Structures are given as C-alpha cells and as structure tokens.
Structure 1
C-alpha cells in the first residue's frame, strides 16, 4: 500500500483509503523524512518507507486521540506507535500484510484497499497487550483497554477491536489471522516495550503497571473456624459437656436411690386443700401500731422498713384517693407540657449515629466542601415475557425508552419558593458538569438522547460500537457511559443479551432547604408519573416491566408503612385492655349477671392503661422539653414495654388485694379498704420496686451509648418505667380503693351511680388458673424427677441457642421495613439481580498540600518521584484485591490527570497565547495563535515532577483545568470529572480538601454493605498513616452501616451491664446473694435463648433488635423478680416456699404478663409491614414464651433446689402450705385501735 486514492463512498465525510500497489519502498525526501521521524520516531530515520506524507498526516490524526489517553504509560504508547507505523510505513510491509479486498473509489475512480490481513508475532502481540491492559483513564474510572480494545481480555481481542471498520475506529477492515503465514511472508515482530523496562523512555508508573508496584502487606487472615467433620468445635464441645452433665445427673440420682448420700429431706408432699385454722400472732409492745413488725422475721431491717413505707403509702393513697389522683394528674400534666416542643427524628444521620461520631462528622465535612451526594432517580426496565434469552435489547423497547425519557424531561411543577408563575423542570435541577446537558445515564445516550439518530437499520451496529467504546459515543454531558451502569444481566461483554435497562437521573443536591424543596416537588411529579405509567395510553408497556425509585421514595413508603402499623398497634392495645378488664373482674367466677356487672373491672383496667399512657406522655414530654427528640423506635416500642411492665404489676396488685379481701372475709375481719390496700402494697410493693429499679437502672445505663436511636430509647424507657412505678404505687392504689368501695357497695362497673340489690353469690376465692397452679401444676413441677428433667431440658435449650448465635446476621434490609405492596420491593429485587456496579466511594483528603512538591508526591501515582505508598499507588494495589478491599475500579486521581493535561504532547489541552503566555486559549481559539502551555517551559514537562507547578502557579493552572470541558481532542480536561472534587480557599491560596473517587464491588446483601464500609475504613486509615494527611472514606450508605462495625461489642456491653445492674439491685433488695444470682442466671438464659431464636428465625442484629433485646432484659425481670421475692418471704423449706410462690405470684405472672402479651402479640402477626412481623411479632413472641418458660418453670425449680435456705420462721419440713404462717414482717400490721391482727391461712 502506498498513497491515498479516495474514499469508500461519495460522502465528503468518507476518509481517504490507501492505494493498493506492488512496488518497492521509497526513499523519502528530506521533508518526507522529517515528517516520518516526527510521527513515527527515530526508528525510521534511516529506513525506506511505504507511506507518503498524506498517509502520515492521516496516521497522526487517527492515533492522536489514543495518544491522549495512553501516553501516561510510555511502553503502551511506544508499542502502539510502533505497531501502526510498521503497518503503515514499514519497507517490509508486504511480508506481513496481505490485501484481501479492494474496490474502486466513487470519488476518484481509483482502486482503494478495503480489507487486509495482518500477521502479528504472538510474542509482540502479548507484550503489546500486557503493556496496555492496566493503563487507566482515571477521570472516568476506566481502563484504557476499554477505549482502545473494547475491554479485550487478550491481544487477539484487542487487535480485532482495533481493526474493526467503524466510525471512530479503523477506516477499513483489518483482520488478524491466527495461523502463521506461508513463506516468504513472516509475522510482524518489532521490538516490544515492557511497562517495567528500566529505561525511562518506556517504564510506566505503578498506576498503569502492576509489575513496578509495591506489594502491600497481606491482611491478617481470619482464623478458619474450627470444625470436627461437619460440626463446629463449639457444637461438639457443648454436646460433650451436655452428655457429661446428663451422665452425672443419672449417676447422682442412682447414688441417692441406693442411699450412698442419704435421703433427700426436701421431697415434696402434696399440700392438703382443706382450710386451715387461723393463726394468731402476738406482737411485741412498746411500738406504735403502724410500725409493728414481728421480731421473728428473717428479712433484713431495711426490708422491713420498705414494707412499713409501702404499708403507710398504701393506706394513705387509699384513704385520700381524690387528692392522690389529682396530684398525679398535675405532675404528669406538668411533665407533659414538654409536648409543645415534641419533634420526631426520621433522618438516618440522627437515628443511627451520634452527631459527634466520626462518620457523622465526615458526612458533614463532605456535604460542606463538596455538596451533599446527588439525588438519584432510577428506572429499571426488564422484559415482561420470555423473550429469546430474556434479552430486553429490542428496537421497540429502546424506542419506548426514548419516548419515556422525553416525557420525564418535560415534567414540570410549580416552584414552591416563589410566587411567580415559574415552573421547574428536570433541566433546572439536574447535574450539568459541563453546562451542556443533564447527566442521564441511559443507553439512549449513545444516540445523544435523540430518537431521530436512532436508525432501524444501524442501531444494532451503533449499540455494539458504543458499548465496546463508550468514549466514541459521548452523550450531551460529555462523559462516557459505561455499559455496566446502564445494562444488566449479561455475561462478560455480551451486551446484546442484557436482561435489564437502567436509566439513572442525577440531580444536584444542596444544603439549601429551598432548593431541596423544589427538587422534592419535581420528584413527587416523577413518582406520580411513573406510578401512572401502566395506565398511560401514550406508552405501551405490555411487553416490559418498569420499576423505579426516587430520592423521596424510601421516606414516603416508610411513612405509609408506619401509618398502616398504627392501626395494628391500636388493635393490639385494645385487645390487651379487653383481656385485662375481663380477667381482673373474675367474671367467669361470678354467680349471676348482676354479680358480673358489679365484679367487672373494666374501669379499673382502663385506669391501669391510662397510668401507662400517662407515664409515657410524661416521659416524652420531659425529654422533649429537654430538647431530646423522639424517634420512630420509641413511638413503636415504649408503649409495648411499659404496658408489659404495667399490666403485670396491675394483675399482681389486684389479685393480691382480692386475696386480702377473701382472707379478711373468711376470718370475719372487718379490715377497711385502706387497710387492705396497705397490706397489699406492703406485700407486693417491694417486689414491684425491685423490678422497676432494676429495669430503670438497666435502661438508664443504655442512655450512655453513642447510637441515638438506642440511647434515646433507653432514656425514654427508663423514665417511663420509673414514672409508671410511681403512679402504680400511688394513683393505681387510689383507683383500686375506689373500685373496691364501688364493688362492696354493689355498684355497677362503668356506671357507678347505678346500684343493684345485694346478692350473696360472691366469686369463688380462687379462679381456674389459681386452682390449676395450686392443685396440679406446682405439685407436679416440684417432684424430684421432674425438677432434674427441667434442669436438663433448659440447659439443652440454652446450649442449642448458643450454637445458633454465630449464625446471627447483621443489618436491616430496607425491603423489610416496606409495606408488602410497595413498588420499591420489586425495584430492589431487580436492582440486586441485575445491577453490576457498586456505589461510588470517595477517599477524602483533608488538606494534603497538593500545591507543594512533598504533598504532590504523597498523592500522585503516575510520576517517577511519587512515593511508593502514595495514595494513588495504595488505591491501585487495593483494587487488585477486590475480595478484601471491595474496590472494583481504578481511582480517579485528579492530580495525575491535571499534570498530564499539562503535557505538551496533548497539544489541544492546555494552551496559552503565543503573544501572551499568561493568557489561556479556549477550545475555539485559532490554533496558530496558541501553543501548548509547557511547549517552551524550562525545565520541560517530565515524569519526575521536576519543574511542575507549585504554589500560585499550581492554582492558576488548576483553575483553568477545572473549567476546561473535555472533548475528543482533550479528554483529560477536568470540568466534567473533577469540578466538584476540589475545594480551594482563595484567601489562603490553598487546597482545603479534595476527594479521589472509585467504586465498590457490587453490594447486594447487608453483609456486602457492612464489609464494604469496613474495608473502606481500613484503607483510609492506611492512607492516613502512609501519607501523613487525614483521609476518610465517604459513600452515601456509610451512615446507615457504620453502626454495624461495633454493634456486636456494643450489644454484649449493654446486655452485660444491664444484667449486672439487675443482679446488684436484686442482691440489695432481696438481701440474698444466691437468689440474686439465680435471677441473673435466668435472665441471661432468656436473653441467650432469644438471640438463638432470632438467628433461627432470620432476625438480624441491628438497632431495632438491640432495643428489643434491652426490652427482653426488662420483661425477663418481670417474669423472675416477683416470684423470687415471694419465695424469700414465704416460710418453710425450699419446696414449700417455691410452691407458695408459684401459687401466690406465679399465677398472677401467667395471667398478667404472659396471656396479656400473647394476645397483644397475636395481633402483630397480621401487620402489613414485614418489620413488625419480623422484629416485633417474632422477637416479642420469643421473649414472652421464653420468659414465661424460664420464670414459671426453671426459676421455681432452681429456687427449690439451690435457693436461699432461710425462709420465714415456719418449719422447713412443714408441707401444710400455709399462706404465711410467720409473715409478720410482711403482713402483721396493726390497726390503729387494736394491738393484735389475725392473718388468715388460705
């Protein structure tokens, strides 16, 4: 081939093609030689040539674009230049080039070459490919191979792509046969240049050549989990321990039966059911009536004082109900005044992280210096039918997309910030990096978003060309659109088989509330338009599935979920209220309807519920006044918690009062209502104090953690529980006294002004539950064999749950928080299934001193004097181990691109006027009037950084670079990629901050998100250490997932502190270390079992479930502490005391908290929100069931076996089951006018 003989078509745009010839190479003239050396280098200074000057001009123009992107790696550029120069001008061209097709040019009538075979030596081909495969185009986080080789994976694919005849590619078809040519032809084999050559003329930097990169220290490997066969070592150890325990119990039991250790003196004897005689207890003298406590009591002195206090309090409140209720209303009303400052935090940055936490401060820094992360709207289109291979790449679908995007661009809404009749459109809000078009990442961008350019005949070729070389099909906003951003569901580079189309609208974000309001107004119009799309006659979507999401979608859908959940919560509370009212009234034991109307406790139940609500209102009001905002977790969880605690105490107080009344009636004791209220509170008040104080302390300690959602809950809950306790021992006692007087006066519940005739059919003293506990359940449970079986069963359950804890996952899938019918669920499903690109991550350098040489060397990567472990080099090395770094793409190193933009070889980039070197040229200025910025610089531009701009000169060039728009002639201009990446302080003439962008690997699960953040944080810490500058990572999702970095140790710390606090309070108030330890053990087992159930039921650990675990601590105390205290104050041996405790308190716990909460929880199962079903129904059901099992089965068994041996002053072997034969410390209080009191046995 020699010379040019015209174009392939008659179009004036058809490039001239080579002439076929069969002549020897020519010796160039001096001018020809000079041009040849200028284009192809010194290798052609003494050689003949098969190309003329016109061919050299065409060659230079064709490879100039490639030079701008590959010259950062000299080896790649030298190999590319050598290859194309040898092909075009080598005097031995005929030995490796075979012309396979020609035609006559319609322009000149001469023959032109239209197709050739080129034989390339495989060794050179591999060296050529290897020298270019790692070269980056950082501005767009691309590899140069994506641009020059179509993402080739080997040299054959690279050469085949280079040889394709297409617009922006080869002007005629070049084929590269793999077989060796027949002699005398031989493959082209010029000298190959390697990126790690020692010669500076070819050696590349670490960024573009892995062979010269430093090797990062390997990360500490996580020790492989220990396994024995398919079983983990933990499971095996627990199994062996349990087997040994069972064997020990069996052996011990056998030894006892054979008499080796004597007989058990604590065997259980069935309690007779006949009424016993009354027992009269004498009191000492010399004390006032109200202060008399039997000296035989074994309770500590301060416990006796607490009983005196509660007795007096009960009498006082019952004697003055109006004053007590009014005072309670005034106090709670005063505290509730804070509701005037009530506000709810829904912003995630105010829920999951503390404002003082590092991730919150980093987000604020990023927003302040670079603007908040973009507001994104995204559309996903998939095929609705089983198309061939499921591909969505069809002409009809693409045309639908053109029309859809046009309609969205035309959406307009009124501007809410102005009174003028001004409408807002997409163009007013979108990101415009070059001010020439909105950033809309869509396949339609390959045709500039213009359907008229979409040809039915050529669209497939255009699609193939643009997906393999995006830089040749730039959209209006001037940045290449990578196929991975707009297509999904394809294998390798088979883009035509894509199963999903993605359209992403990128809107600017701002700290300006007025702008955000305008953006939200337009986004609402976008959502409305997309939701109505299936019913829009202008769009036929029958063949596709269209999913979408907007920036406002998540918040809107979550609010909708919360609104639907309100009804569920209300129904749950109403169901519990109805049960409480019915159960407290003993209605099923009344003998007639008149008695039912009197015995009903509906008003009393409402009073108990109102006390719960009042405590919540007062707690919220107090903290609102203090400026602590409420959260959705508090609104959904606190009522459940306080109601659980409150209802339990209501049952205990009411049922104990009923027992006192029954006992007084049987003993013909005319004790007043106030006296009976005092006795009730004296007996049960200390236990209620124990539970309330333990829960308040446990929750209060949680207020010191850094996670606002948890700390706010803890503080609100602590105060609400304490206020509920205060109101229950005062206001509820007043309610109880009023209700008792109404009942004894035979007045109708809810209508106390109506009275019925007195009837004698009073309710039986014991109901079904009490009788079941007394006659069946307690005797059965406390048999020796049953107790041992219970111990072994609960230990087995405990061990089984421990084995599940390692499988507990972290996170909160946002789909769980959405209503079942939310359009976002299918959107997220398709996003996870098809989207191939992870979220962007920015490594932000605070300061960094890039205006100084030392700072430049710490940041750069493409210059020989860059530090070995500079920021650019470390990020590049981390990219090469994506399985641990979670980084998928080359980082955009603005400093490298800026300095390469100054390279005079890129003669259309940085230019100054020849007449005034201080004045920059723009793209439209006359080329003859301009020259490259560094064309005459001394020292010249070089890869050592020597002579590169610093200080004021650096900022002057930087300003011009950041305002230069990239184009085909100068893709390194910085306006599109870096304008928002650098913050400059003009007053101090310094760079305050800059970021370096890359992308995570695809994140599809909660674990992926957590590990991506963990890896980015590790890399940033490494960069800070190596560069000496503060570096932190930022991505839009970090705020949500930062909590999981330390949520496991936080959970362990919170629960441990809570359990220890409960144990300490129990020890102090029970005066029994052994009983306190038993309570602690039961609480720990309940919590561990709940965590194990969470793992089995796929309930992840997050802030919501952590709050639920804290609730588990509180409710566990309710199940355990009342029964434990009842055990201590009873007389007799351990079995007798456990029996009495089960009868007196266990039945109240079962009928109160267990059944009440099961009724309320059952309603939650029908919630439309998965978050309620998973995180509330499942977890609360586990808490209640496991709490009841441990509190009503395991705890009494433990107490009967190893509980405190010092009971009341009854005989330890007495199995008569007296209610409290020696309970003077608990009940033997004197009436004011009597020095004796009769306490009845049940």
Structure 2
C-alpha cells in the first residue's frame, strides 16, 4: 500500500501542513484560564451549585485580604511597642489607595469594603479594642493604660471599659481631652462588632486559651482580615481587584522594610495572579525539552556511532523534522480545542507538550531503527542493489519504498496498537468532572491520535526523502553530495536491467512482512557494524540468556510479587487532597503565607448552616411569629426548644465533651433573639424620626447620640416582645438587618449578620449614605424572609485530610440537625467546592482506572486477536499502576483528580513497555525461552534507547518547572511510571511469559 499510494512524499507533506495550518489557526483564540474555581471545580457538583445558590440569595462570600504579623523576636503580642506597630502596619494596609496611570481613577478601601449602615469598613483584628486608631492607642499609652485597656477588653469585648475610662479622665493633664470617638473607652470595633472570636484574631497562643482567656495574652501573632464586597458580576469586582493588586505591592514593600514583624499576607486575587504569573513563565522548560530531544535524536538514532560518514547517516534534519511534527501535533490539538472556545490551562501548556514529545519520540526511534534493520537485512540479502545508486534515482526510490514499507509492516502495527491503547485510555480520564483534569485528558487523547496520524504521513514522508538523500550519498543538513563517495557502475545483468526498467518493487510485497530478517539470519553475509552496536547486541544476548535460568526466574517472580503486595499495602494508607500551595511558584510570597497559616491560624473559614424556605421538606413560607416556629429558631426565651438550631450551633462550638471536632470554640449568635432585643422598646437600638424612618446609630458623635435618644422607639413601650407585631415585622426586620451595633446597642444585625439574610430570595441590598431609610408600616426590603444562616467558625486545617474530615463532619451535622428539628438545612463554607471530589475519590479512581485497563484489553484483543496475550498486557499495565500507587505515599504524592488521570496515563504508557515485546513474543516460534530471547533481541534496545531514555530526558526538564505540582505530579509520577514500566516490560514479562509457555519444564 505504501509503495502504490504513499510513495509521494512531496505531495503528502504540503497536504498535512495545510491541515496543520487550519487546526493551529485556532490558537488566535487562545485564552488562559487562571480562576482556581474554574480550574479545579466541576460546575455540576453539588457544592458548586450550592456556592452559586448561596451567592444568589445572600451575595457571594466576601472578598478577603489577610495579614499575619509575627514578632521577629519570637515574643508575645502583649507588649506596648508590638501593639502600636501592629496598628501602624494594619493602617498601612487599610490606607492603600489605587490610582490609575492617568490619575483619572482612585480606589480606596472605603469604596469596596463590607460595612453596615453608618459604620466604617469591616476589619477584624484584636487591635479594634483601640478601634484600630493610632490616636486612641497613643492616648492610652500617654497615661500608661494601653495594656490594661487591652486586657480589660479581652475579658469583656462587648462593653465599654468604664472603670478604666473613669481613671483615665481623672488623670487627664491640662489641655488634654478624650477624643469624641473614645469618650467611653469602647471595646467594640470601629464598625460596631465585638472582637470576641479571639482564636480568629490571634495566633500561636498556648493550649487551653479558649477556657482561660489570660493565655491569649501570650499569643505569638496578630491575624487581621479586611472584608470587601463580592459580586457575581465580574465587572463589578474590577475596582476591588485593582485595589487588591495595589495592596499586594504595598505589603511586599512593607514586608521588606519592617524590622519588628515577619509579615505574611494574602489578597483575594493572590492565587489567581500567582497562577497567571506561572502560566506566562512556564514555556521555558518545554522549549528546553524539545531542544534536548532534537540533540538526543540526532546522536541516538545512530546509537552514538561517529564514523567518517556520520554526516551522511546522521539524520539530523529527519530528527529535527520529527520533533517539529510533534510540535505541529501539539499546536493542532490545542488549536482544535481553541476553535471550540475551550480555555487553555497551565497544566495543558506544560504537560501535554511533554507527554506528546515522550510518546512521539518513541515512535521516531522505533521507525528509524526498524528502517535501519530492514536496510541492513536488504544489504545482506541483495548487496548488488546498493552499487552505483547515485546514478540511478529510480532504483533509489524503489529501494527506499521497499525499506519503508517493510519497516511499517515490521513496527507499524505495534506503534498503532500502543497509540490506540494510549489514546483510548487517556479518553477515560476526560470522564473526570474536574475541569483541569477533564481537558488535560481530552487534549492528551487527541494529541496522541493526531501525532500518530502526522507521524504515519508527514514524518514518514520526511524519512522517505531522508533515506533517498542518504542513498544518494548527500550530506545531511546541506544536502551536498559527499566528495568521498565514489561512483560505482553496477554490474551488468538482469538485476541491473530490472532496476533500470521496472517500476515494480525490488522485494515482492506478497512475501511475509519480515522475510528480510528471516533470510538474513540464514545468509552469512558480513555487514560492517559499529563496535557499540555489536556490544549492545552482545549485552542483549547475555541478558536474555541470564533470564533463562530457573533460579533467576524464581527470584524475579518472587521479587515482583513482593513489590506488588507491598504496593497494595502502601496504597491503602495513601493521603488525599491537593494543597493550594503546591500550585504556587516556588518563589511566591503565598508559599510563606500558607506555611504561616499552618503554624499560627487556630481557626478556619466560617461555616454556615442555612435554613431556606422550600428546601426539601421546608414550607414555602415560615410564620416567624408563630410560637411553634419560634421555638425552633431561638435560644434565649423559655419558649426556645432544647434542640433549637441556635442551641445546637452553640453546642457544636462550645460543648465541653463534644464529638464534633472541626468547629472552633467561640460565641455563636441567634438572629431571632437579637432581633427581639433590637426592637425591644426598653433598649436604645431601634429609633425612628417623626416620619417613621429609622434613625441609625453613629459612634463617636455624642450630640447625635443624645438627640437620637429623644426619638421615638420603634415599638410602643407597652409592647412585649416576642411576638413582633405582624404589620411591622418586615420593616423592623429590614432596619435590624442593616443596623450597626454600638456601645449603646449590641444587637445591630448589619454588624453581626451581614450577608446572612435573604428577603424574597434576594440578598439584603448594599446600604450606603444615599440609600433611603426604611420606615415603619412599609414592607422594608421585601415581603418575606426566605433564607437565613447560622454561622460557626471552622477549625484550622493544617492538612488536606483535616479539610476533608471537616467537610464530611459538617455534612453529617446538617443531616443530624435536619432529623432532630424537622427543618431541612444545608451547609456551606468557602472551601467546600474543592473537597466534594474527595467524598468519592477512591471509588472514582477504581472506576476510571478500571475502565482504562478494560479499554486496553479490548484494543489489544482486537489487534492481536489473542485473548491470552491481551490479558497479559492488561495485567502488566495493572501491575505498573499498582506499583505507581504504592510509591505515591513515599514520594509525598496525594490521591486527587490529577493523580488519578496520571494513573490512567500510566496505564496507557505501560502498553509501550510491554505491547511491543508481547507482539514479537507471540510471533516467535520455539520454547518459551527461545521466544523470549528472540523478542528481547527485537525490542530491548529500542525500548531502552527509544522509549525509556527519551522519556527520562524529556521529563527531567520538568524539574525546572516553577511549581511543586509539576515536580510532584508529573516529574515524580512519570519517572516512576517509566521505571516501573521498563522493569515490568523488560524483566518481569520475559520471565513470566517464558515460564507460562514452559511451565511443565519449569517444575
């Protein structure tokens, strides 16, 4: 077929290049995905759907910046100089201002921050005991009261420090006057919330601090969080993103210059920007790998033989074009997906080119080595054909066609089998719902198939042209005829006449596909062979001979059985997860931040247990004034049930003998109880003007506070709460939901519950100075409260398993509460979208790897037509996968979506190490030992030089990648695959098959 249809290289190459151009043109649509959610989370997962729904009804979880300040001297934070410097550093962060290059746009924290009505930005930090004000701190400091005020507020964070304030006022010097904002020495924050979650705002404190607050004074770190609004519409987040990037620049400068603190910091955009930075710098190792492979191919194709005709037989151009054909395959693969709008990802950019190179170069070596063997066989059989070829272009074409066609018949089926098995196996990786894994597997599958097609067309045509050049005696690269090549006139005779007159192939294609080798083995024609080649052949024979000894076979079989059992034991202890810092560049400031989190952070992200109308068994509308409903949702009145949801939340966090270990101790809140306290006419919280409009609380303005106290209460003094009057319920709730807290009122829902209420399935609107005040007898922000949440604080999770266990535990808690109360609730936390996959990761691994191995069995069965040998290939691939799984734990590689798809790829690559050997073993004749020797002679050097070493060289460059994800999950894993593959394919398989065939003789 090749002689009759494929011997037109000058037509085939342009045709393939046109296809490449069309496919690769899609690269003009290239777009790189760096959003962690869109990389690692399936949009069909329950946690993702809940995340989106949470954002729809409550607003997306706020954007957060965080700083961790650790004294460089290792001392505690309870020192005046340390407290003062921490306030300064936090104010540096809070005062960050973004200014556009042309000065037309200015963005400050006040423009984007999360705040309640009439308050400042929400900055959660323990130095809010001084309202994070340097002026306040210095006033206390002047009179030596700063540490006493700090400790007093630590013990009573919801009140004012009245006793100390009296002492301070009595000690005032002439001319000194308390600032109006600290007239009563408040402990509440500048935005009205109490700073009572000590384990959230402090780090590195001694064990037992939650039960003995004095120990918090020995803490070793400040933890400050800056909360900003987050929107579902990305365009609305642009101002926040610009400010965050300015924040990062400012904090980098502060970190470099600060002499008091080691500063670790994070912004909401940090992870995305660091991944983006790595993406833009990630192509260096790829380019280096391809360059090294070109050099290796140029030298290794001739088995490093440097003879005087090296530049005639070197195949430098052919090797270069072979690598370029792989580049074309990669570009075409990515281009095709870009045509369909798929976004490119960092892993695809760096790993798919390596994978394509590792597999494609194998095929280059196999093809060229097959051509070399067929040419040598033809020279031994018909040496006269090669005399005087420089004068006979027609004979050159015919000889080249014969060599190429027989080479294809010899090795082409094995290449096809391996490529088909790999491509089908990789395709099963695209079943994974994780986007980065799905598209990596899909592109790897496509890349293998396209590379095979290009190599069987364009590269084969290049090899045909190169072989013609070589037979003409022309130098490689410059294509000039070597002066040392002497013209020889072929002897007259029928052979010469046939060469000159006939267009038929010199060796009949009707003969078996390997006649040259068989006849050559019977023809004692000496052919000049390099000493290195002779030595390699001798080593192969010795190695094959050693494997025939029974004791060697027994040792090999027992050793591999032991390794298999140890691997099975090791894989049972495999850790799960994928730490975020693994994906960061090695020099990223985020690495130090994540390390600091593990050391100093005692709490995790907030966990929300959400009650929603219409969810599962819940009614479409709650009668929140009905006592039977109130008993489920309150905790401070006699009517409140023992197992009311707020009581259960408090037990989860603070029960002394609790079994729920992933909820941090601390204050829990009940909105219904606080709502009752807010509208109670005996409190100072709810005041309306003469038109019935709510009068907000303003801290630091004594005159305003006095005048506000003269306004009417929202409810008449004769009203007893609960219940709340039905006709005022929604207007009063709307006031409560946006009201700030203060020293005169600690019940402001806007300070405590911001982002935890939904009215008519929409979030509470963002309130600012231009927002119209809510009035009594109106419907407020809507007609019905449709959802609300109860918040607890998660524990710090130093390991991925802690995150997974926390997620599982809170899911069980939500199920238990639903069963106990009859109210169906669901649980949400910011990190859950990343960990849902681990609920089923083990089952997914078995399913996907099993399907890949089954596909390999089916493909090899269809090709070989022999169930036994196909089963041997599939079982060997299984053993390789088991070995890789067993070595993952010692190599610090976790089980996750990435490692699962790599295990699928390992199964596919395993076919390369065992498929070629099994095919030649099946075709050989004689005893098991004879067949193993024959198969090893055929494939061992090609497997070592063409498959193993090429993969080692290509993968070694991954050590230069600037991310631990690539070093662990690609360099380490793929190196293990190569090592296990060559050992199973070239050690275990010959012993196993020869033993099975000669099983009677073995015993």
Question: 1:470 & 1:505 partners in 2: Cα distance?
Answer: 20
Equivalent of 2:307, from 560, 572, 591?
591
CA RMSD after TM alignment? 2.9
Q: Do the aligned partners of 1:352 and 1:1043 also contact (CA within 8 Å) in 2?
A: no
Residues 1127, 845 of structure 1: alpha-carbon distance in 2 compared, 3 angstrom cutoff = same
1:447 aligns with 130
Q: Aligned to 2:61, what secondary structure does the other structure show?
A: coil
Superposed displacement of residue 1203, structure 1: 5.3
Equivalent of 2:190, from 455, 471, 476?
476
1:58 aligns with none
Residues 902, 731 of structure 1: alpha-carbon distance in 2 compared, 3 angstrom cutoff = same
For each residue in 1:206-234, what CA deviation from the matched residue of structure 2 results, as whole angstroms up to 9, or x when unmatched? xxxxxxxxxxxxxxxxxxxxxxxxxxxxx
Q: Do the aligned partners of 1:1078 and 1:1198 also contact (CA within 8 Å) in 2?
A: no
Question: 2:695 & 2:961 partners in 1: Cα distance?
Answer: 66
Is 1:578 the equivalent of 2:295? yes
Residues 709, 1025 of structure 1: alpha-carbon distance in 2 compared, 3 angstrom cutoff = farther
Residues 463, 624 of structure 1: alpha-carbon distance in 2 compared, 3 angstrom cutoff = same
Q: Aligned to 1:470, what secondary structure does the other structure show?
A: coil
> What TM-score results when the alignment is normalised by the length of structure 1?
0.67
Please give the residue correspondences for 1:27-46 in structure 2 after superposition, counting only pairs within 5 Å: none
Residues 428, 886 of structure 1: alpha-carbon distance in 2 compared, 3 angstrom cutoff = same
1:136 aligns with none
2:336 aligns with 622
Question: 1:352 & 1:998 partners in 2: Cα distance?
Answer: 26
2:405 aligns with 678
Please give the residue correspondences for 1:1167-1186 in structure 2 after superposition, counting only pairs within 5 Å: 1167-1186=961-980
Question: 1:920 & 1:733 partners in 2: Cα distance?
Answer: 82
Q: Do the aligned partners of 1:314 and 1:730 also contact (CA within 8 Å) in 2?
A: no
Q: Aligned to 1:1053, what secondary structure does the other structure show?
A: helix
2:266 aligns with 549
Higher helix share: 2
Question: 1:534 & 1:459 partners in 2: Cα distance?
Answer: 26
Is 1:954 the equivalent of 2:954? no
For each residue in 1:477-528, what CA deviation from the matched residue of structure 2 results, as whole angstroms up to 9, or x when unmatched? 1111233233222222323322112222222222343442222222222222
For each residue in 1:1119-1142, what CA deviation from the matched residue of structure 2 results, as whole angstroms up to 9, or x when unmatched? 111111111122223222221111
Superposed displacement of residue 922, structure 1: 6.0
Is 1:825 the equivalent of 2:591? yes
Q: Do the aligned partners of 1:839 and 1:1000 also contact (CA within 8 Å) in 2?
A: yes
1:488 aligns with 203
Residues 866, 751 of structure 1: alpha-carbon distance in 2 compared, 3 angstrom cutoff = farther
Please give the residue correspondences for 1:559-958 in structure 2 after superposition, counting only pairs within 5 Å: 559-588=276-305, 590-592=306-308, 595-668=309-382, 670=385, 672-758=399-485, 763-764=529-530, 767=533, 770-847=536-613, 849-852=621-624, 853=626, 856=630, 858-863=632-637, 869-879=643-653, 880=655, 883-884=659-660, 886-888=662-664, 889=666, 891-904=668-681, 906-910=682-686, 930-931=712-713, 933=715, 935-937=717-719, 940-942=720-722, 947-950=723-726, 953-958=728-733
Q: Do the aligned partners of 1:604 and 1:735 also contact (CA within 8 Å) in 2?
A: yes
Equivalent of 2:18, from 330, 333, 337?
330
Question: 2:50 & 2:794 partners in 1: Cα distance?
Answer: 19
Question: 2:585 & 2:748 partners in 1: Cα distance?
Answer: 47
1:286 aligns with none
Please give the residue correspondences for 1:195-344 in structure 2 after superposition, counting only pairs within 5 Å: 312-313=1-2, 316-317=5-6, 319-344=7-32
Q: Do the aligned partners of 1:354 and 1:708 also contact (CA within 8 Å) in 2?
A: yes
Q: Do the aligned partners of 1:870 and 1:1026 also contact (CA within 8 Å) in 2?
A: no
1:253 aligns with none
Structure 1: 5+ residue stretches without partners: 1-311, 1206-1211, 1214-1242
Equivalent of 2:89, from 404, 408, 424?
404
Question: 1:634 & 1:732 partners in 2: Cα distance?
Answer: 24
Q: Do the aligned partners of 1:1131 and 1:1137 also contact (CA within 8 Å) in 2?
A: yes
Question: 1:882 & 1:479 partners in 2: Cα distance?
Answer: 28
Superposed displacement of residue 1028, structure 1: 6.1
Residues 684, 427 of structure 1: alpha-carbon distance in 2 compared, 3 angstrom cutoff = same
Q: Do the aligned partners of 1:908 and 1:970 also contact (CA within 8 Å) in 2?
A: yes
Superposed displacement of residue 1159, structure 1: 1.9
Residues 331, 773 of structure 1: alpha-carbon distance in 2 compared, 3 angstrom cutoff = farther
For each residue in 1:426-448, what CA deviation from the matched residue of structure 2 results, as whole angstroms up to 9, or x when unmatched? 22222222332112223432112
Q: Do the aligned partners of 1:316 and 1:674 also contact (CA within 8 Å) in 2?
A: no
Question: 2:848 & 2:268 partners in 1: Cα distance?
Answer: 35
Equivalent of 1:978, from 736, 753, 776?
753
Question: 1:807 & 1:988 partners in 2: Cα distance?
Answer: 53
For each residue in 1:346-376, what CA deviation from the matched residue of structure 2 results, as whole angstroms up to 9, or x when unmatched? 2122222221221111111222232222222
Question: 2:729 & 2:480 partners in 1: Cα distance?
Answer: 91
Moved more, 425-434 or 1119-1128: 425-434
Q: Do the aligned partners of 1:587 and 1:596 also contact (CA within 8 Å) in 2?
A: no
Superposed displacement of residue 607, structure 1: 2.0
Structure 2: 5+ residue stretches without partners: 160-186, 386-397, 489-526, 698-704, 761-778
Q: Do the aligned partners of 1:314 and 1:733 also contact (CA within 8 Å) in 2?
A: no
Q: Do the aligned partners of 1:587 and 1:599 also contact (CA within 8 Å) in 2?
A: no
Question: 1:356 & 1:1120 partners in 2: Cα distance?
Answer: 38
1:191 aligns with none
For each residue in 1:579-636, what CA deviation from the matched residue of structure 2 results, as whole angstroms up to 9, or x when unmatched? 1221113441x431xx111111222212221222222222222222223333222222
Count of residues paired in the alignment? 873
Which structure is larger by alpha-carbon Rg, 1 or 2? Answer: 1
Residues 346, 769 of structure 1: alpha-carbon distance in 2 compared, 3 angstrom cutoff = farther
Superposed displacement of residue 1163, structure 1: 3.1
Q: Aligned to 1:629, what secondary structure does the other structure show?
A: coil
For each residue in 1:315-359, what CA deviation from the matched residue of structure 2 results, as whole angstroms up to 9, or x when unmatched? 632x11112212211222222232233322221222222212211
1:1088 aligns with 882
For each residue in 1:1045-1091, what CA deviation from the matched residue of structure 2 results, as whole angstroms up to 9, or x when unmatched? 22221111111110111011112211111111111111111111111
Is 1:526 the equivalent of 2:253? no
Residues 765, 628 of structure 1: alpha-carbon distance in 2 compared, 3 angstrom cutoff = farther
Q: Aligned to 2:581, what secondary structure does the other structure show?
A: coil
Superposed displacement of residue 809, structure 1: 0.9
Q: Do the aligned partners of 1:577 and 1:605 also contact (CA within 8 Å) in 2?
A: yes
Superposed displacement of residue 873, structure 1: 4.2
Residues 919, 565 of structure 1: alpha-carbon distance in 2 compared, 3 angstrom cutoff = closer
Superposed displacement of residue 545, structure 1: 1.9
Q: Do the aligned partners of 2:573 and 2:889 also contact (CA within 8 Å) in 1?
A: yes
The structure showing larger relative contact order (alpha-carbon pairs under 8 Å, at least 6 residues apart) is 2
Is 1:366 the equivalent of 2:54? yes
2:493 aligns with none
Q: Do the aligned partners of 1:851 and 1:991 also contact (CA within 8 Å) in 2?
A: no
Q: Aligned to 2:189, what secondary structure does the other structure show?
A: coil
